[in-house]
Amino acid sequence: MGLTIEPPHDHGLTTQEVEQLQKEWGLNHVAAKTIPEWKKILDRYLDWVSLIILISAIISAAVPVNGDQGWTSFVMLILELQFVVWMGYYSDRNAGDAVAELAALSAPMCHCLRNGKWGSLPVKELVPGDIIGLKGGDVIPADSKLIGEGEPLKIDESSLTGECLAVTRHPGQEILAGAVVVSGELDAMVTATGVNSFFGKTMALLAVPPERGHLQQVLNRVSIALALFAVAGCAIILGVLTGHYDNPPGYSIVTVFVIFTSVVPIGMPVVTTTVLAVGAREMAREKAIVTRLSALEEMSGMEVLASDKTGTLTLNQLSLDKEDILNWGTHTKDDVLLYSCLSAKWENNDAIDKAVTNSLGDKKYVAGYRITKFSPFNPVDKKTTAHTITPTGEKLITTKGAPQIIGDMLADPAARQACADYIAERASRGLRSLGVARSDDDGQTWSLVGLISLLDPPRPDSGETIKLAQSMGVAVKMVTGDQFAIAVETCKRLGMGSTIMEGKTVMAGLKGGDEGKPDPVLIQHCDESDGFAGVYPEHKHMIVSALQAKGRLVGMTGDGVNDAPALKKANVGIAVAGATSAAKGAADIILTREGISTIIIAIVRSRKIFRRLEMYIIYRMASSVLILGFFFFAILIFDFEIPTWILVLISMLNDASVIATSYDAVHSSDYPLHWNMTKDLAIAFSIAMVGIVGNVLLVPFVRPDLWFEWPELDTEPALKTPPDNGVSTSGKEPALIFLSLSGMVQLNIILTRNPSFWWHFSKKSAPKPSPILLVPVTCFLGGSTFMSVYWNGNIKPDGQRYLFEGAGWHAVLLVWAYVFVFWVIADFFKVAISSVFVKADLIKDELKGHIDGKEKTPGWVKALDWPGETADKISDKIEACFDGMCSCFEKKEKKAKFQRTSVVSEKEGEGQVHVQVEGEKQA
Q: Which residues are catalytic?
A: 308
* C-alpha–C-alpha distance, residues 64 and 68, integer Å: 5
For 68, counting Cβ atoms within 10 Å of its Cβ (0-12 exposed, 13-18 middle, 19+ buried), the class is middle
* 597-638 and 677-701 helices, crossing angle to 10°: 30
In 537-664, which ranges are E strands? 554-558, 572-575, 589-591
What is the identity of the amino acid at 175?
I
* C-alpha–C-alpha distance, residues 292 and 289, integer Å: 9
Q: How far is CA 423 from CA 358, 366, 416, 428, 673, in A?
A: 23, 28, 11, 9, 42
Tell me the β-bridge partners of 111: 120, 133
Nearest Cα neighbor of 473 from 652, 607, 643 is 607
User: For residue 38, what is the enclosing H or E element?
Assistant: helix 37-45
What is the identity of the amino acid at 904?
V
Query: Residues 734, 643: contact at Cβ < 8 Å?
Result: yes
Tell me the β-bridge partners of 395: 389
* C-alpha–C-alpha distance, residues 268 and 277, integer Å: 14
Tell me the β-bridge partners of 432: 454
In 72-179, which ranges are E strands? 109-114, 117-122, 131-135, 143-156, 167-169, 174-175
Alpha helical stretches, state H, 472-536: 484-493, 503-511, 520-528
Nearest Cα neighbor of 737 from 629, 634, 623 is 634
Q: What are the phi and psi torsion angles at 400 (to 5°)? A: -140, 145
* C-alpha–C-alpha distance, residues 659 and 266, integer Å: 12
Query: Residues 647, 258: contact at Cβ < 8 Å?
Result: yes
Q: CA gyration radius for the chain?
A: 35
Q: Which residues contact 373 (CB under 8 A, 6 or more apart)?
A: 149, 386, 387
Is 337 strand, coil or helix?
A: helix
Q: What are the phi and psi torsion angles at 131 (to 5°)? A: -100, 125
**Taking CA 822 as the corner, what is the angle to CA 817 and CA 827, rounded to the nearest 5 degrees?**
125
Other C-beta atoms closer than 10 Å to the C-beta of 657 total 21
Q: Which long-range contacts (CB under 8 A, 24 or more apart) does 820-823 make?
A: 821/694, 822/690, 822/691, 822/693, 822/694, 822/744, 823/744, 823/747, 823/748, 823/751
**Displacement of CA 230 from its chain's centroid (Å):** 32
Query: Residues 189, 130: contact at Cβ < 8 Å?
Result: yes
Tell me the β-bridge partners of 180: 139, 156
Q: What DSSP character marks residue 293?
A: T
